[in-house]
Amino acid sequence: MSLLMGGVISAIFGLIGLIFFWSDFMTIFKGSLPVFMLLGGALAVYVGIDEMQEKNREERHRQEEKLEKAQKEIEAIRAEAEQYKDELNKLKESKQQ
């Protein structure tokens, strides 16, 4: 309860102070605005670079998965080709006899 009362009193004093010192507040706000914009821009650049790196990682992962899938298909086709080759050799041998 005392925390609530302290918060209300603090908000009232803050509002009164803002009304009486409006011009000083605006001076400080105007002076701090370029700093906030600079920091916000730096943060946006950092997040943008991080997002690009994440997209590159995801794309690389997708390409590796496609490559693995293609390699497995190639191995299966080679095995099937070997099987057909063995069957063909068996047929040739049985025809020669």
pLDDT digits (tens, 9 = 90+) for 60-90: 999 999 999 999 999 999 999 999 998 888 8
Cα 34 to chain centroid distance, Å, stands at: 29
In this prediction, residue 52 carries a pLDDT of 96
70 contacts 77 by C-beta, under 8 angstroms? no
User: Which tens digit of pLDDT belongs to each residue from 2-24?
Assistant: 899 999 999 999 999 999 999 99
